[in-house]
Amino acid sequence: MQDEEEKSFFKFLGGGEASSDFTRRIENMVNRAKENEIWRHQFMTWQQTLDMERRLVRDETRAEALAEGREAGLDEGRKMGLAEGRSEGARTAALENAAKLLSLGVAAETVAEGCSLPLEQVLQMQKGQ
């Protein structure tokens, strides 16, 4: 007998007709609940609350991901800026040192090698003095 009730119950859950006392009782309770305005209002309010909470969680997650991405981008930009600044600083120092060495009469080839500059650039600097 229990097997028949279980079969009837699962058929009912799948959209079939209520064919046992148990499934007919369930169907009656569901119909009464559907007709109960207070219950329907409570259910709709509950569903709206869930939807709102889902949107809030989604929006918070999106905001956190954007903030993390923005911070990672800023960090990467800072690192690139520092590296570029160091490189530019080293180049400026090399050019200043080369100009000073040339003014002291050091040979262009020696200046180029010592300052890690192209010889052509050092020769141009020498001509400009």
Span 26-37, pLDDT tens digits: 899 988 888 888
d(CA 123, CA 128): 9
Residue type, 119: L
For residue range 83-121, list pLDDT tens digits in order. Answer: 999 999 999 999 999 999 999 999 999 999 999 999 999
pLDDT digits (tens, 9 = 90+) for 6-60: 888 889 888 899 999 999 998 999 888 888 888 888 888 999 999 999 999 999 9
Contact yes or no for 119/93 (Cβ under 8 A): no
